[in-house]
Structure 1
């Protein structure tokens, strides 16, 4: 195959370079960051999006490791290569920690640098020890200090929905970060990465000179892989994947784009691919849900429940930047968390209205989200439901909606339900989840000139209009589609329109009957 692809666990710039792994050159971004107007920066990106590798690259740069940058943009941009003392804190190791464990973890991180620069007896608390470290590193080296904090919010993410624990852990972290402002004369550069924004942490409430570069167009491609980078730097790997899959290069590119592309982090952003999924697909020769499969954060599912977000409500937002690039600990909407975690992304920008359009980025995220929400409808029968959905996919490939619905009815007949099935919306959302898992385009409550269609499903060959009823009849549902001429709304799609009326029974808690035209 040629070049070595970086392993899943390699997030260290030095190791990547020394092992001669494929590296997409982001060092021009590093140069622009470190030679800009602000010496304090914050970057928010979803998990496994290359933040740690970026921090590691900054560490190697500030340590003056010129030999590692041979052949990269930085080699020609940087002329001085000044060596600075670097304090690098990876907060991902402090996940799932209580108060005592969090303090112990912070002390452990400080101790490794105190072995180099010493510790004063008066430095007791973590914030005092950090302040003392920065000052001694400056005094002992004669150089300003660089502080790099990766995943600064990791200790807080899993308790975001906990009213009791969040304030306690937040106070610990706020105190730890507080010296960054007081030590300004001793600092050359401070960089923090994370997923979310917590307004009550000192980095945002006290460091009023911190520059949030998360949505700046010039840094939109600082993490992730652009379409141009994929086509030019990774063509060999894509060609090899196409060969292994037995399809053409163009077909492989289309599949990679559908699954992993679609991220935008500013109103003027190139297409960004999820780097974790893309590299895993190329490494394993398998276009699968690598990023979503690596772990759905428990806080996300909990927050979706807390805000009573229906599956069909995820995405399709028009929002001002303040609505989604906002602190998350006192959210009145799920949108900031969905955006900052990477489950929705920028899909467009209206210059006149100054509004962003936000939606699910790609097929991997859509299917992953729906798979995570399926247990809300099938409970302990989810694994059997996944098998049924896979078989339904076979029917849909043949445009046999009748066979797919028969299979669904047979399966639902084995699933016991509770009282939450007693309204039409439950069935609408369940079908939305199931058809989304088939990989088809599906939408609910689609407006037409004469009303709203319950659900629209588009496959490669046909467009299906669904009208759903509860304790009425499939004929009644079909009459509504016909009377209101719902199919006129979709005449310009160029696809044959199939009308489907479905009636659910309140008594059997299943599909009662259906009509297809």
Structure 2
């Protein structure tokens, strides 16, 4: 690999990427299949930072006939004509936090950019009339059918999707803007829209009933994102260089990247898909970090989790039919559609018999990022818990659960709590968040033949079976573990099983005591 090889961090323009020496994962065979398909009206939903804007820009370059940009790519041998079409490309990503008048003004400015090229009908005053006139003018002046590309179509609506007063106003503006697309069908070659949330056919595209949603089509499962096969076939040297920077083998580097950034599936069956932004940023910076989660604070998501009363351990591990998650978020009755379409949970399996999908958090980056965002719900100074987590991680890694609990007791006693600390579930949630941040596997309410374990924590060397009590004593927690014979459920896991009984005190608002039994010794 040449030292000048660059990673396209934040680059969303296809021509800039191709004219520079940037890494590009060739998706143009799928693009050719898309533009030559039966439908000329296409919608694709993917989470933010998943390459939707680059895909839209690539389509623009293709329809503008810029053959030179596709040299050496799959589409070069597939396309023979390279017809140049007029392309109207609208980026809605900056149309956020606007009221109705500001949004109409924003759309007007976007139209003006193209009217400067094709002219404006002075009698067309409304944005829908101006778009219709613009499409017809572009067709008449070039003699070629027009391509309309709309990136992040839903951006102006995301912040108000559950506000009963503002949503209808902005929705009407957007519906009015998009309304000419069907009437202009004789003048259009291709219409492509991207977004995060699935559109509501009735609320925004009531006129455009011929649009095809390919978001869950198996043929286009890998259209955005980077597959494991693409990494192995096109980025082997990149992974080797990444491993050298970390002082680990290529396989260890690959495993670390997979654990943190892989795990997405937008249909089933589907190849394993990596978050492209996080993967490329990690390769560029030479370290593992929470790049995708850190690039946008999910304030809206946290508010919705609170609104729907979703506790941390209920975010993942959901079983439902497609209509429960591939649904318009404006009419959602649970948090599932928002979690799925935003990329915080993804498809993990599917049963043809029951038609049920298993949804879960895709990878470590998302799981840890979510837990960090939820910490302020439990304590008023969450930064101090970050330090606690780092110290606890080292102790648990070294098998010192007692030392980790002692640290937790000390730190929690000094941090002001938020409300609702007088029920057992609050402490279970807090402990779940902390243990998840440790980077270990953790699960709650795990079924056994005789009941449910409060929490199971698995490290590389040990499996901890944990029972929590509130104002009852650690002995009561340990008695329940023994009474329900919880350890027998995990006897075949291949790891030593350690029982941990923990008691929280509502008066002290921290851990009051614990018992740890590893089969040989008891620690209190």
TM-score by length of 2: 0.97
TM-superposed deviation, 1:327: 0.4
Pairs within 5 Å for 1:211-250:
211-250=212-251
Q: Flag structure 2 segments of 5+ consecutive residues without an equivalent.
A: 518-524
Structure 2 residue 455 is the aligned partner of structure 1 residue 452: no
Matches of 1:122 and 1:202, distance apart in 2? 28
Aligned residues: 516
Q: Where does residue 356 of structure 2 map in the other structure?
A: 355
Q: Where does residue 191 of structure 2 map in the other structure?
A: 190
**Is the 2:278–2:291 contact (alpha carbons within 8 Å) kept by the matching residues of 1?**
yes
Q: Where does residue 19 of structure 1 map in the other structure?
A: 20
Q: Where does residue 99 of structure 2 map in the other structure?
A: 98
Structure 2 residue 505 is the aligned partner of structure 1 residue 490: no
Q: Where does residue 472 of structure 1 map in the other structure?
A: 472
| Deviation digits for residues 70-120 of structure 1 (CA, Å, limit 9, x no counterpart) | 000110000111111000000001122222221111111000111111111
TM-superposed deviation, 1:161: 3.1
Matches of 2:303 and 2:135, distance apart in 1? 39
TM-superposed deviation, 1:391: 0.7
Pairs within 5 Å for 1:66-145:
66-145=67-146
Matches of 1:35 and 1:463, distance apart in 2? 53
| Deviation digits for residues 386-419 of structure 1 (CA, Å, limit 9, x no counterpart) | 1111111111110111111110100010122354
Matches of 1:19 and 1:95, distance apart in 2? 31
Pairs within 5 Å for 1:22-421:
22-199=23-200, 204-379=205-380, 381-421=381-421
Matches of 2:137 and 2:515, distance apart in 1? 78
Query: Alpha carbon RMSD of aligned pairs, Å?
Result: 1.1
TM-superposed deviation, 1:506: 1.5
Pairs within 5 Å for 1:494-509:
494-509=494-509
| Deviation digits for residues 213-243 of structure 1 (CA, Å, limit 9, x no counterpart) | 1100010000110101111111111111100
| SS of equivalent to 1:378 | coil
**Is the 2:435–2:442 contact (alpha carbons within 8 Å) kept by the matching residues of 1?**
yes
Q: Flag structure 1 segments of 5+ consecutive residues without an equivalent.
A: none
Matches of 1:399 and 1:426, distance apart in 2? 26
TM-superposed deviation, 1:202: 5.6
Matches of 1:463 and 1:479, distance apart in 2? 19
Matches of 1:75 and 1:135, distance apart in 2? 30
| SS of equivalent to 1:329 | helix
**Is the 1:428–1:468 contact (alpha carbons within 8 Å) kept by the matching residues of 2?**
yes
Matches of 2:417 and 2:13, distance apart in 1? 49
Matches of 2:88 and 2:204, distance apart in 1? 17
**Is the 1:158–1:298 contact (alpha carbons within 8 Å) kept by the matching residues of 2?**
no
Matches of 1:34 and 1:418, distance apart in 2? 53
Matches of 2:166 and 2:199, distance apart in 1? 14
| Deviation digits for residues 287-311 of structure 1 (CA, Å, limit 9, x no counterpart) | 1111001012322111111111100
| SS of equivalent to 2:223 | coil
Q: Cα 1:392–1:315, aligned 2, differ >3 Å: closer, same or farther?
A: same
Q: Cα 1:259–1:500, aligned 2, differ >3 Å: closer, same or farther?
A: same
Matches of 2:320 and 2:99, distance apart in 1? 35
Matches of 2:183 and 2:116, distance apart in 1? 23
Matches of 2:206 and 2:228, distance apart in 1? 37
Matches of 1:333 and 1:185, distance apart in 2? 41
**Is the 1:159–1:299 contact (alpha carbons within 8 Å) kept by the matching residues of 2?**
no
Matches of 2:472 and 2:63, distance apart in 1? 70
Matches of 1:180 and 1:67, distance apart in 2? 30
